[in-house]
Amino acid sequence: MYIALLQFEIEVPGAESLKDKRRVVSSVKDKLHREHQCSVAEVGNQENASLAVMALAIVGSDRKHLRSVIDSIEHKLRSLPEGRLGAMEHQMLSAQEIAEQAGAGGDLESGPVWSDSELDAIDTGDSPPVPPITGSSGDRCSGRTDGLTNSQEHAA
């Protein structure tokens, strides 16, 4: 099982109040959740009317598919009509790696589990540093097993 995380900033030019910003944040959250079945939240700068710090998470068993979904989301965020994309950071975590760090008393906030070069090696088919966890409970929680999102299925 893998967990894809994306943290990003949206600049809201012309927002004069938190209500203006909430309209943009709600629109982005609803669109991303509806189109990509991901969890989305505003995670910082809640009192700043012109900047939203948001994060999203997607869980699945296919790392390459999750990377593709994150790439698609990044593309959509770059073309938002209601705001400008600011800083962005993504991370891919393996459930096994998280469990190992937590069991060893590791600090989960110390930085990315895998470097970009390790992630690129996985994308090209080289052996991953940590294999994904398999099992019936993980399979039930991972959502679709065919590699498609609901929106992709309807488009096909």
Query: How large a percentage of the chain has pLDDT more than 90?
Result: 43
**Does the pLDDT value for residue 147 go beyond 80?**
no
Q: Which domains does the chain have, with CATH numbers?
A: 2-135 (3.30.70.1120)
Structure tokens at 64: 């390459």
Kindly provide the residue ranges of all beta strands, DSSP E only, lying in the chain, ordered along the sequence: 2-11, 39-44, 51-60, 84-94
**Does the pLDDT value for residue 123 go beyond 80?**
no
